[in-house]
Amino acid sequence: MTMALPAAAGAERPHHPLAHAPALVLGILLALLIAAALSAATVGAAGIPLERLPAALGFVAGDPATVERDRLVVWSIRLPRIAMAVMVGALLAAGGTILQGLFRNPLADPGLVGVSSGAALAAAATIVLGDRLMPALPAEALPVAAFAGALIVTATLYRIATNGGRTSIAMLLLGGLAIGALAGALTGLLVFIADDRQLRDVTFWTLGSLSGATWAKAATILPFLLALVIATPLLVRDLDRLALGEAEAFHLGTSVERLKRVAIVLVSAAVGAAVAVSGVIGFVGIIVPHLLRLIIGPGHRLLVPAALLLGPVLMLGADTLARVVVAPAELPIGILTAILGAPVFLGLLLRQRAQIGL
């Protein structure tokens, strides 16, 4: 393996400046999240200045001239969308972080390696085929189906990319490409047999958007987020050990097969739930952990909780931008995350050029 030579010892700057200040890191991220949520609540086609927000939320009595309309906008449009952006951002960022830990590589993004496509295919199939089997499909069916789709892809990908405890990044990316292409083709097939209403829904999955946000949708993915938050502490130490290799993790006391199963299920649940309500939104799972590793280092104990906070910030920021740049129309949020994320991915790819053998 070739590698850049380290800088002369004397010229070294400190790595990961905030690695040893978890409270500060999480505090800053929480403040950012609150700021992002406030701007998302106030900015938009129907502008609600910050000073009218407390009344709109119902905390204080407001100006009768505007308060009715403001309350309607905030409670039935802005807040469900904020709630969903926060949850989807947290799910995608933490899902990406865990996927990268599992594959021991920062390039593994759920969107790029086909996990999101698998989830979208399963969700689309549920809409198109499920409608024929069952007249009124429960709302909970979608995240569950998307979870199953993501699970099949993640488990298959692990088998393809990992051999004897070592992950081949070339096999991961190329195998993911093939799986993503297959899932995309099958989704295309579904488009042919879908009726008009179903077609609108299926197209939505392939583009990715938060525009259909409702409280009901947000409620269906809440259990997935809670499961992720609860399971995270059980996983972080073992993901660190896995960075040394599967054999080393075992020697250090980790039940590696169990860890892999739990990680695959968690990633699939996170990505599946996110895709079920917002479609395929790429690169969030790669930008967030990458930025964080530069500042706080790769230790998963802090990285995963930080991703759970920074993911929502990125998602709220991108969604607010998507709503205002071409107002009153709206840009698909996936375009913005790709503009931010693709260069990050390319940068990481170039850095690993030697390792991939290109």
Partner 1 sequence: MIVLDAEAITVTAGSKRLVDDVSLAILAGQVVTLVGPNGAGKSTLLRALSGEIVPRAGQVRLGGKEIRTLGPAALARRRAVMSQNSTVAFAFTVAEVVRMGAGERQGPRIEAFIDAALAEVDLSGFRERIITTLSGGEQQRAHFARVLVQLMVGAETEGPGLMLLDEPIAALDLRHQLDIADSMRRFATRGGTVLAVLHDLNIAARIADRILVLDRGRLIADGPPQATVTEAMLQAVFRVGGAVGHVPPPGTPFVLPHAMRAMV
Query: Which residues, 6 or more positions from 27, have their beta carbon under 8 angstroms from its beta carbon?
Result: none
Binding of residue 131 to partner 1 (CB under 8 A): no
Output 147 or 158, the one with its CB closest to partner 1: 158
Binding pattern to partner 1, positions 238-257, x when CB under 8 A?
Answer: --xx-xxx-xx-xxxxxxx-
Minimum distance of partner 1 from residue 46's CB (angstroms)? 45
Burial 62-98 (b: 16+ CB within 10 A, else e): beeeebeebbebbeebbbbbbbbbbbbbbbbbbbbbb
Binding of residue 16 to partner 1 (CB under 8 A): yes
Minimum distance of partner 1 from residue 259's CB (angstroms)? 10
Minimum distance of partner 1 from residue 179's CB (angstroms)? 22
Q: Coil, helix or strand for 167?
A: strand
Name residue, tokens 């979608």.
142
Query: What span, in angstroms and rounded, lies between the C-alpha atoms of 126 and 198?
Result: 10
Binding of residue 22 to partner 1 (CB under 8 A): no
From 45-53, 149-157, 273-281, 293-301, span contacting partner 1 (CB under 8 A): 293-301
Binding of residue 323 to partner 1 (CB under 8 A): no
Q: How many Å from the N-terminal Cα to the C-terminal Cα in the chain?
A: 12
Query: What span, in angstroms and rounded, lies between the C-alpha atoms of 156 and 150?
Result: 10
Binding of residue 106 to partner 1 (CB under 8 A): yes
Cis preceding-peptide flag for 328 (omega within 30 of 0)? yes
Give the one residue of 162, 293, 305, 312 binding partner 1; rule: CB under 8 A.
Answer: 293
Give the one residue of 299, 305, 312, 334 binding partner 1; rule: CB under 8 A.
Answer: 299
Minimum distance of partner 1 from residue 356's CB (angstroms)? 14
Quick check: 264 and 154 in contact, CB under 8 A? Answer: yes
Name the residues that contact partner 1, by CB under 8 A. 1, 3-6, 9, 12, 14-16, 104-106, 237, 240-241, 243-245, 247-248, 250-256, 293, 297-299
